[in-house]
Chain A
Amino acid sequence: MLNQEFKIPAKLKTTSFALLGIGVLTLLAGLFFLLIKGDQFAQNRFWAVLMQNSIFFLLISLASVFILSATSLAQAGWIVSFRRIPEAIASIVWVLALIVGVLLLTIVWTDNTHVYSWLDPTFNPKNELNGLKNFFLSKPFFTFWTILTLALWSFFGMKLRQLSIKQDSEPKGSTKVYWLNFNYSAGFIFTFALTLASTIPWLWIMSIDSHWFSTMFSWYTFASSFVSGMSMIMLWVLYTKRHGYLDIVSTEHVHDLGKFMFAFSIFWTYLWFSQFMLIWYANIPEETVYFQIRFHGPYRIFYWLNIILNFVAPILILMPRPNKRNYFVVSLVAIIIILGHWIDFYQMIMPTVVGPDWKLGWFDAGIVCGFIGLIITLVSNKLTTAPIVPQNHPFLKETVIHIS
């Protein structure tokens, strides 16, 4: 029961390859019709859609590395029963990191991409106080910090899985690898705090609106990516369980994951609302310009969808205890949350890059399919390379008898 080998169901394999194929074809079509043949609007959309999706899917995969590190540091037992799933997602972070790296560096080092207005040589933050900002928003620093960050994320993602697999062949009761994993987790949390939880969302996303700033922005992005990352783990756990794997995962573990989805939806709302309310109340022109287009302008539908999908739906559906223990309800909410936060990333990036005439079309749909297909292919392949339950983890017994 404990040494189940995951075999990819044929249907999943076909679906993932089909999605991946759609994604690649859409990318090629987009490259031709939007970037080469298209007008300025189409070109901007090409870059913006690629940016939104690649960053979104990278960050929700990165959430797995974070939850692994956080639970390792907290010495939590409950997650061990399905630890291989976040591990598999963590170990593919490098692929998405590569895509994001190539894309962002292309955007920064190619002329006339019109994504980051600070690339314009005439750009100059008027204020004297912004001298450091000129350094922060410069091509060399952007390149250096992006490459360093992506390399570190990829390294920790692969390392955590490698250590966990190493634990399988250790003698019984040995805690050497366990403590090594603990130390690497601490290293990742430190990296994470200096990158995703502070500088990276400023650099990648917030700097699109070069003159606007919000110190809360990174936390808000983190909450967004974390709650959708937990939802993705939930979908994988339920999928593998449905196909007869992960016997030791019980309703109790699903309940705990559901609690994370519930709690961090509220946490996201807290940060999102704090950012909005302070700007709304202070009413300072250089801050409100950000919400002008999103709250009053053409993007207001996404503003309200944000509240409904990311706050109202999860809090009302997941509040009763029986709902968090119902596999159908939690998978439904997981899909709602992932969709909602995809829309959240959409309204972070589109208004400034694409302008007020937003459009959702075949290119968006195709690229989303491509990324979903890529993640399914890579993660399911990773899951086959090791037993789907950690064989020798010190907390194995604790996780089996876990009661939420």
Chain B
Amino acid sequence: MSIKKFAVATYDDEAVLFPAVKKVRGAGYKIHDVFTPFAVHGLDEALGEKESDLHIAGFIYGLTGTATALGFMGWIFTTDWPQNFGGKPLFPLPAFIPIVFELTVLFSAVGMVLTFCYLNQIMPGVKKHIFNPRQTDDKFVMVIEVNDDTANDTMSFLKGTGAESTELQIAESEWWYGRFDKKEDYELQQQIA
């Protein structure tokens, strides 16, 4: 929502990144985020991220799917439009199971994708600030939020952690749909302040 200042350190290798993350957290800095070109196993634990609740949401979506399928088919075939198929009962549970299974999978999959997008604040049409264009290619980028007082201190600390390069950037800190504050606005705000 608001525009902030970030210290951005770029690393060359995950073997350098891990000790750096440890060092930075050990020194008491709060890491805003780390961007890697691929999923680095164990990085979430190194960053101290707690386990996501996404799977609980998935379980609830799955149960919703099960209930929808059973309820809807049960209502249709027993109340709304009862029909006799080959002498089977009006509520033939085994014959319903494949559809119940499919709807459970569908609901939990679609629901989890949307929840995942919401939690990570990504969505088609949302613009995100790219700290380093090579963070999706071959570079590992660590970002720490700073203010004018802490910027110099943080930058010099990051240089000592094996970073390939460090720089200060001004960027959007949070997400909201469809709008994106520009750097010029920040400069304008600074002038007014």
Which chain B residues border A276 with CB–CB below 8 Å?
Answer: 94
In the assembled complex, the Cα of A321 lies from the Cα of B94 at a distance in Å of: 30
Q: Are B42 and A273 in contact (CB under 8 A)?
A: no
Q: Are B59 and A281 in contact (CB under 8 A)?
A: no
Q: Are A281 and B95 in contact (CB under 8 A)?
A: yes
Q: Are A281 and B51 in contact (CB under 8 A)?
A: no
A365 at the B interface (CB under 8 A): no
In the assembled complex, the Cα of A16 lies from the Cα of B91 at a distance in Å of: 51
B50 at the A interface (CB under 8 A): no
Which chain A residues border B126 with CB–CB below 8 Å?
Answer: none
A-B contact count (CB 8 A): 21
Contact of A273 among B55, B88, B92, B97 (CB under 8 A): B97
Measured as residues with beta carbon below 8 angstroms from the partner, the interface class of chain B is 10 to 19
Which chain A residues border B92 with CB–CB below 8 Å?
Answer: 281
Q: Are B42 and A403 in contact (CB under 8 A)?
A: yes
In the assembled complex, the Cα of A278 lies from the Cα of B51 at a distance in Å of: 41
Which chain A residues border B179 with CB–CB below 8 Å?
Answer: none
Which chain B residues border A321 with CB–CB below 8 Å?
Answer: 51, 55
State the Cβ distance, A292 to closest chain B Cβ, in Å: 15
Q: Are B42 and A277 in contact (CB under 8 A)?
A: no
Q: Is the interface of A mostly helix, strand, loop or mixed?
A: helix
Q: How many residues of A contact B (CB 8 A)?
A: 10
Q: Are B86 and A277 in contact (CB under 8 A)?
A: no
In the assembled complex, the Cα of A362 lies from the Cα of B41 at a distance in Å of: 51
B124 at the A interface (CB under 8 A): no
A319 at the B interface (CB under 8 A): yes
State the Cβ distance, B86 to closest chain A Cβ, in Å: 7
Residues 290-324 of chain A, each 1 if its beta carbon lies under 8 Å from chain B, else 0: 00000000000000000000000000000111000
List A312-347 residues whose CB lies under 8 Å from chain B. Answer: 319-321
Contacts A403-B41, A403-B42 known; A281 to B55 CB distance under 8 Å?
no
In the assembled complex, the Cα of A31 lies from the Cα of B41 at a distance in Å of: 57
A141 at the B interface (CB under 8 A): no
In the assembled complex, the Cα of A276 lies from the Cα of B93 at a distance in Å of: 12
Contacts A283-B86, A403-B41, A403-B42 known; A277 to B95 CB distance under 8 Å?
yes
Residues 54-76 of chain B, each 1 if its beta carbon lies under 8 Å from chain A, else 0: 01000100000000000000000
A41 at the B interface (CB under 8 A): no
Which chain A residues border B98 with CB–CB below 8 Å?
Answer: 277
In the assembled complex, the Cα of A283 lies from the Cα of B94 at a distance in Å of: 13
State the Cβ distance, A147 to closest chain B Cβ, in Å: 40
Q: Are A281 and B94 in contact (CB under 8 A)?
A: yes
**Which residue of chain A lies nearest to B85 when distances are taken between CB atoms in the complex?**
A281
Which chain B residues border A319 with CB–CB below 8 Å?
Answer: 59
State the Cβ distance, A212 to closest chain B Cβ, in Å: 19
Which chain B residues border A281 with CB–CB below 8 Å?
Answer: 88, 92, 94-95
In the assembled complex, the Cα of A283 lies from the Cα of B87 at a distance in Å of: 10
State the Cβ distance, A149 to closest chain B Cβ, in Å: 34
Which chain A residues border B42 with CB–CB below 8 Å?
Answer: 403
In the assembled complex, the Cα of A403 lies from the Cα of B95 at a distance in Å of: 41
In the assembled complex, the Cα of A319 lies from the Cα of B51 at a distance in Å of: 15
Which chain A residues border B59 with CB–CB below 8 Å?
Answer: 319
A-B contact pairs, 19 of them (CB 8 A): A273-B94, A273-B97, A276-B94, A277-B94, A277-B95, A277-B97, A280-B94, A281-B88, A281-B92, A281-B94, A281-B95, A283-B86, A283-B87, A319-B59, A320-B55, A321-B51, A321-B55, A403-B41, A403-B42
Interfacial residues, chain A to chain B (CB-CB below 8 A): 273, 276-277, 280-281, 283, 319-321, 403
19 new A-B contacts, CB < 8 A, other than A277-B98, A281-B92, are: A273-B94, A273-B97, A276-B94, A277-B94, A277-B95, A277-B97, A280-B94, A280-B95, A281-B88, A281-B94, A281-B95, A283-B86, A283-B87, A319-B59, A320-B55, A321-B51, A321-B55, A403-B41, A403-B42
Closest 10 CB pairs of A and B: A403-B41, A277-B94, A403-B42, A280-B94, A281-B95, A277-B97, A273-B97, A276-B94, A321-B51, A281-B94
